[in-house]
């Protein structure tokens, strides 16, 4: 069976690490296509190196652009790649423009599509990621949700018969990396009761007033804040004349995956708008405060391990809340999701 994985953005490289590893020594011939949506070395290359992901067979080098331009360029380029490789299945990951482009290209060429991390919903129709998730799920032939909640969303949308719950592949990688960094920590340049923060969502970065409020609130927190600044945040802050490094905030470039995990693991709390970090904080048992009105990872909200704080005036109170005493639950799987992904793909192929 030939499977083409299409990835392009940082969180997809993490998911690919688990899947590529799970496909080793199986009956699957795995072809990796990188759209090039993320091209900065610290958002892409270092992930391939650190997580020992095989080099992509194809790199489309698409880069940045408006949603239409970026997605359209990927679509056109992927048509050629899929036609050349004639896959038994195209595997798409998560909710980025690379996900949607690959799903649409494959479905139009009549190649079966499997969607990993299917069924997540924020129910916020202003988010580009929500458009990408919903459209991809409805185009796909095999849906691989990480959780029961995600599966239930698919059932409600009439897609339950295509869905197989596999668990969360990011959990596989997070657990392995946690154990490695505990054994071999590096000097991160910050210590004590610091907080780890990332802000990159369009709804938080692209409006100058909103971004200024968020950055001022981070700078006013009582603890030091390691702000791992995504290029989008750095670009918008510069454009709007917002100084990032002030008050409590210490700016870092985006870190490689193991260092990001070590940074979170050593911190008193995480403050973010990222989906991945909310879940990783939960898995690492670090309290998280999320600067958004909703989350797709609703399981993290139980026992206040994660608290939504869309109003930045409430941020200090939310961040300084006591650490939850209830243990976290293993709702994201046991660290062996990639194996179930491989089994689901092979079963799907046997039945088609």
Confirm or reject binding of residue 224 to ligand UD1 (CB under 6 A).
no
Q: Does 38 bind ligand UD1 (CB under 6 A)?
A: yes
Binding mask 62-81 for ligand UD1 (x = CB under 6 A): --x-----------------
Q: Is the CB of 23 or the CB of 92 nearer to ligand UD1?
A: 92
Q: Does 232 bind ligand UD1 (CB under 6 A)?
A: yes
Stretch 110-129: interaction string toward ligand UD1, x if CB under 6 A? ------------------xx
Is 115 a catalytic site residue?
Answer: no
When asked if residue 188 is in the footprint of ligand UD1 (CB under 6 A), the reply is: no
Nearer to ligand UD1, 241 or 327 (CB): 241
- Long-range contacts of residues 215-220, Cβ cutoff 8 Å, at least 24 apart: 215/242, 215/244, 215/249, 216/312, 217/312, 217/313, 217/315, 217/316, 218/247, 218/248, 218/249, 218/271, 218/315, 219/246, 219/247, 219/248, 219/249, 220/247, 220/248, 220/316
> Distance of alpha carbon 31 from its chain centroid, rounded?
21
Distance CA 199, CA 51 (A): 23
Interacting span for ligand UD1 (CB under 6 A) from 53-61, 172-180, 231-239, 331-339: 231-239
CB closer to ligand UD1 out of 74 and 308: 74
Choose the stretch contacting ligand UD1; rule: CB under 6 A; options: 143-151, 160-168, 176-184, 229-237. 229-237
Evaluate whether 225 touches 252 at the Cβ level (below 8 Å): no
Q: Which is nearer to ligand UD1, 1 or 19 (CB)?
A: 19
Angle at 93 between CA 305 and CA 109, to 5 degrees: 155
User: According to CB under 6 A, which one of 26, 43, 149, 320 is a site residue for ligand UD1?
Assistant: 43
Contacts of 29 (CB under 8 A, 6+ apart): 1, 2, 3
Q: Using the rule CB under 6 A, give the single segment among 149-157, 188-196, 226-234, 298-306 that binds ligand UD1.
A: 226-234
Whichever of 5 and 37 has its CB closer to ligand UD1, that residue is 37
Q: Which long-range contacts (CB under 8 A, 24 or more apart) does 148-153 make?
A: 149/119, 149/298, 149/299, 150/117, 150/118, 150/119, 150/120, 150/121, 151/119, 152/119, 153/119, 153/120, 153/121
- 290 interacts with ligand UD1 by CB under 6 A: no
Strand ordering across the sheet containing 288-290: 249-252, 225-228, 195-198, 269-272, 288-290, 306-308
Q: CB under 6 A: which stretch of 14-22, 92-100, 137-145, 286-294 binds ligand UD1?
A: 92-100
Is 96 a binder of ligand UD1 (CB under 6 A)?
yes
* 235 in contact with ligand UD1 (CB under 6 A): yes
Catalytic residue among 30, 153, 200, 230: 200
Distance, CA of 311 to CA of 53 (rounded, Å): 39
* Interacting span for ligand UD1 (CB under 6 A) from 5-13, 110-118, 209-217, 302-310: 5-13
Token pair, residue 150, equals 């995600």
Question: Residue 152 burial by CB count (10 A; 0-12/13-18/19+): exposed, middle or buried?
Answer: middle
**How many Å from the N-terminal Cα to the C-terminal Cα in the chain?**
12
When binding is defined by CB under 6 A, the residue of 224, 231, 247, 256 that contacts ligand UD1 is 231
Based on CB atoms, which residue is closest to ligand UD1, 97 or 349? 97
- Residues catalogued as catalytic: 200
Binding site for ligand UD1 (CB under 6 A): 9-11, 37-40, 43, 64, 95-97, 128-129, 200, 230-232, 235
């Amino acid at each position: 069976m030939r499977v083409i994985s299409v990835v392009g953005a940082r969180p997809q490289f993490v998911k690919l690490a688990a899947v590529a590893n799970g496909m080793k020594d199986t009956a699957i011939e795995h072809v990796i296509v990188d759209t090039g949506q993320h091209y900065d070395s610290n958002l892409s290359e270092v992930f391939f190196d650190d997580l020992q992901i095989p080099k992509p067979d194809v790199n489309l080098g698409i880069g940045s652009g408006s949603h239409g331009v970026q997605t359209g360029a990927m679509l056109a380029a992927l048509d050629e790649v899929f036609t050349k490789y004639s896959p038994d299945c195209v595997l798409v990951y998560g909710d980025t423009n690379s996900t949607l482009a690959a799903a649409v290209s494959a479905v139009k060429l009549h190649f079966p599509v499997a969607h990993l991390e299917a069924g997540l919903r924020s129910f916020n129709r202003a988010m580009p990621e929500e458009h990408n998730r919903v459209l991809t799920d409805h185009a796909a032939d095999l849906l691989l949700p990480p959780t029961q909640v995600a599966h239930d969303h698919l059932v409600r949308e009439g897609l339950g018969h295509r869905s197989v719950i596999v668990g969360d592949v990011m959990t596989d990688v997070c657990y392995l990396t946690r154990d490695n960094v505990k054994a071999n920590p590096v000097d991160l340049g910050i210590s004590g009761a610091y907080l780890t923060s990332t802000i990159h969502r369009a709804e938080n970065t692209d409006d100058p007033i909103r971004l200024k409020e968020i950055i001022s609130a981070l700078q006013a927190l009582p603890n030091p804040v390691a702000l791992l600044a995504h290029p989008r945040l750095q670009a918008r802050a510069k454009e709007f004349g917002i100084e990032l490094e002030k008050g409590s905030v210490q700016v870092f470039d985006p870190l490689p995956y193991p260092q990001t995990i070590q940074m979170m693991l050593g911190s008193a709390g995480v403050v973010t708008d990222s989906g991945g970090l909310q879940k990783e904080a939960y898995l690492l048992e670090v309290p998280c405060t999320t600067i958004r009105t909703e989350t797709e990872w609703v399981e993290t909200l139980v026992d206040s391990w994660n608290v939504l704080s869309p109003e930045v005036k409430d941020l200090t109170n939310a961040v300084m809340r006591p650490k939850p005493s209830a243990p976290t639950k293993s709702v994201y799987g046991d660290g062996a999701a990639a194996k179930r992904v491989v089994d689901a793909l092979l079963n799907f192929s046997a039945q088609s």
